[in-house]
Amino acid sequence: MAPVRLSVLEPLLWAAGAVALAVVPFALSTFQVVQITVFLIFCLLAVSLDLSWGLAGLLSFGQAAFFGLGGYAYAILCANDETPGVALAAGTVAGGVAAGLLGYIAFYGRLSTMFLAVTTLVVTLILLQVLGSTADPSYHVGAAVLGGYNGMTNIPPLLHEPTPFFWTAGGLLFLVIVSGRLLMAAPFGRILAAIRENERRVELLGYDVRGHKLAIFALSGAIAGLAGALFASWGGFINPEVFSLAQSAQVVIWVLVGGRGSLYGAAIGALLVQAMTQYLGYIGTAYTTLVLGALLVSFVLMMPNGLLPTFLRGLSSIGIRQR
């Protein structure tokens, strides 16, 4: 995959996206606004993985862990009477610090990519065990009782009204995608892309490979933490289920379905899979997981590069040029 050059069309796309985000809530019912808000939060989580994986080639099953830590940080601070804005920032920092720590051990210890994946998975499962064991009221951080598997509930939201919160989540997603795309076209992003392609060569050229990897991994962790804090604010609850194998795999599935490397693909994948999951459950039969599983399998067989690349390639073959 060649490094990104932003086409002329892209800023137009951004402008259109910004307008859409601003205007769309007025055309939708309250439910739809709230519903799409959580999809936007998941898109943010997927984009965080794409930054680390699609751009830098660092597959991590730990995005769910950083997401969960961000959510818990938000919940704990809010329960200790901190303002939600500060709690949101704390969630972001929590995700970033955790990722930084894990990244430091991984990259400065020269773990291979495959084992970064397993290590992040193992850490996530450890968090699941540990937080699941906190059912006793004696497990608390200040005034915040951790609650074990029940988790924490009635968490104060960042904003009470659905539409401003929609704008906040959507705005943050927009900011992250735009900055991410700019990053990809900037020297920092190009170095990361080169590291993804051939790490040794980049090292021989004199760049600080480990520092770059650590930076992008910490950044992706921070974004995942931000998404987690937003999620805790959205739902008013956070529980250890976010640290499960299923949730960790889910983030990877979103990026695989949408196509990795473009950031847009990850967002589209998250939106599609979550909307499908939600919809299948709502029509409420006993076939939900059967259909979801079958869809995933057919997807991999028929559209292996993910939705967006296949779609774009299809567009160019129909004759719509990309530039």
Partner 1 sequence: MHVSRREVLRDGAAAGFGMSASMLLGRQAKAADDIAVGSILDATGPINIYGLPMIDATKFAVDAINQSGGVLGRKLRLIEADCQSNNQVYAQNALKLILDDKVSVLMGGITSASREAVRPVVDKYSAAYFYNEQYEGGVCDKLVFCTGVTPAQQLGVLVPWAAKQHGKKFYTLAADYNYGHISADWVKVYLKAAGGELSGEEFIPLDVVNFDSVIQRLQSAKPDVIMSLLVGGNHIAFYRQFAAAGLKEKMAIVSATFGLGNEQVVLKPQEAEGIVVIYPYFQELDNAVNKDWVAAWRKRFGANYTYVTDSACTVWNGWHLWAMAVNKANSLDRDKVIAALETGLTFDSPEGTIRLDPKSHHVVHSVHLAKVNNKNGFSIMESFANVEPSDTMKVCDLTANPNEHKQYTPKF
Partner 2 sequence: MEYLVVTLIGVIFAIASLVLLALGLAIIYGMMGVINLAQGEFIMLGAYTVVLSSAHGLDLWVGMALAPVVVGLVGLLVERCIVRFLYGRLLDTMLATWGLSLCLIAAVTLILGPSTEGVATPFGHVAIGGYVVSTYNLFVIAATGFLVALTWGLFNRTRFGLIARGAMQNADMVAVLGIHPPTIYMITFALGSALAGLAGAIMAPLTGVVPSLGLAFVAKVFITVTVGGAAIFSGTLGAGTLLGAIESAVSFVSTPIYGQVAMLGSALVVLRFAPQGISGLWRRSD
Residue numbers at the binding site for partner 1 (CB under 8 A): 29-32, 34-35, 38, 129, 132-133, 135-137, 145, 147-151, 153-155, 235-237, 239, 241, 246, 277-290, 302, 310, 313-315, 317-319
Asked if 152 and 145 touch (Cβ cutoff 8 Å), the reply is yes
Does 133 engage in binding with partner 2 (CB under 8 A)?
yes
In the complex with partner 2, the residue whose CB is nearer, 148 or 157, is 148
Report the C-alpha gap between 289 and 281 in whole angstroms.
Answer: 9
Does 286 engage in binding with partner 2 (CB under 8 A)?
yes
Query: Which of partner 1, partner 2, none does residue 241 bind to, with CB < 5 to 8 Å depending on kind?
Result: partner 1
What sections of the chain are H helices per DSSP? Answer: 9-27, 30-50, 63-79, 84-108, 113-132, 162-185, 187-197, 199-204, 209-235, 245-258, 264-282, 288-302, 307-318
- How many CB atoms are closer than 10 A to CB 291? 14
Does 300 engage in binding with partner 2 (CB under 8 A)?
yes
The span from the first CA to the last CA of the chain, in angstroms, equals: 17
Contact segment (CB under 8 A) with partner 2 among 21-29, 91-99, 192-200, 292-300 equals 292-300
Query: Which of partner 1, partner 2, none does residue 163 bind to, with CB < 5 to 8 Å depending on kind?
Result: none
Q: Which of 58, 77, 245 is nearest to 158 (CA)?
A: 77
Nearest approach in angstroms of CB 108 to partner 1 is 33
Asked if 98 and 66 touch (Cβ cutoff 8 Å), the reply is yes
Query: Which of partner 2, partner 1, none does residue 277 bind to, with CB < 5 to 8 Å depending on kind?
Result: partner 1
Report the C-alpha gap between 306 and 193 in whole angstroms.
Answer: 19
Question: Among 100, 296, 311, 312, which residue sits at the site for partner 2 (rule: CB under 8 A)?
Answer: 296
Query: Which of partner 2, partner 1, none does residue 149 bind to, with CB < 5 to 8 Å depending on kind?
Result: partner 1
Query: Which of partner 2, partner 1, none does residue 23 bind to, with CB < 5 to 8 Å depending on kind?
Result: none
Residue 152 — φ and ψ, nearest 5°? -115, 140
Contact segment (CB under 8 A) with partner 2 among 34-42, 107-115, 137-145, 180-188 equals 107-115
Residue 260: C-alpha distances to residues 49, 162, 170, 303 (Å): 9, 31, 21, 13
- Name the site residues for partner 2 (rule: CB under 8 A): 59, 105, 109-112, 114-115, 118-119, 121-123, 125-126, 129-130, 133, 245, 249, 252-253, 256, 286-290, 292-297, 299-301, 304
